Structure 1
Amino acid sequence: MLPNAVLKWYGVYEASRLIPDAVTEMARQQLSTSPPEAQGMGFAILHRCGESFYFLIVCTWRNSNELWQTVFYKDNDAATSFALFPRDVAHKPTLCVWELVPVWHEQQTWTRFLTSARDEPAAQLWLHDCFAGASS
């Protein structure tokens, strides 16, 4: 829960390289102490990329059908917090093929929410509809 957003949480990683609890806590702390301008309903992806590089991607749905995004990163084990990922070029990176798995699931569940009554029971159904990938 952020001041203006409700987010589902996803961890993306190789089965042999779990995300350490300390890094998950650091990512959650980042969002609670320096919340992005995200508002509405959405999801966060904490992606371990290799040995010690992580992306923290915050996505929210706006205007019913638009997915908005803020991206943070942690570059190595010595980094004590996440920082905004620089995106000052015209052609920007968006998502890798592995991050698209929870994004695809969220697109499907958001579409179901949009075609619902959009009331509290529908919002709770959306909130609890999360993807859990293979554990091996």
Structure 2
Amino acid sequence: MGQDGAGIELETSLGYLMKEVSSALRTAMEAVLRPLGMSVTHYSCLELLAQRPGLSNSELARGTFVTRQAMNVLLQALEADGLVTRSEQPASGRALPTQLTPAGRAQLATASAAVRGVEDRMKSGLAPAEQVALRTMLSTCAASLRAT
């Protein structure tokens, strides 16, 4: 606890523990993605596009937790590498929908296997029922924070 008694006990703080897990997960993911020439944001972008083709720059930025500007730079690089295509004309408004190319799907398949290995390692100490309970609790925590 802080010197004045108003601080947070780091050993019992759920927020601190969640940040510690998040940091460890990101580090482990970066370690398996780096040899593939990818970052976590790069991987997350491809994964989102595989699951939700046609997302706009803004939607991808929100889904990968980066700014629109950072996503635009990433999308330009992914397009130059032949991993995604973006329409010349917006479907509606100003948003240019983005799609994975076959090369993007191939890169994603390799990266997904590597990331799945990290997630498997992370949850290896949990029984299947505990994994389900953890997913439920984390989803509930996120929903509670979004609701306020």
TM-score normalized by structure 1?
0.28
Which has the larger strand fraction? 1
Whose helix fraction is larger, Structure 1's or Structure 2's? 2
Q: Could you say which structure has the larger radius of gyration? A: 2
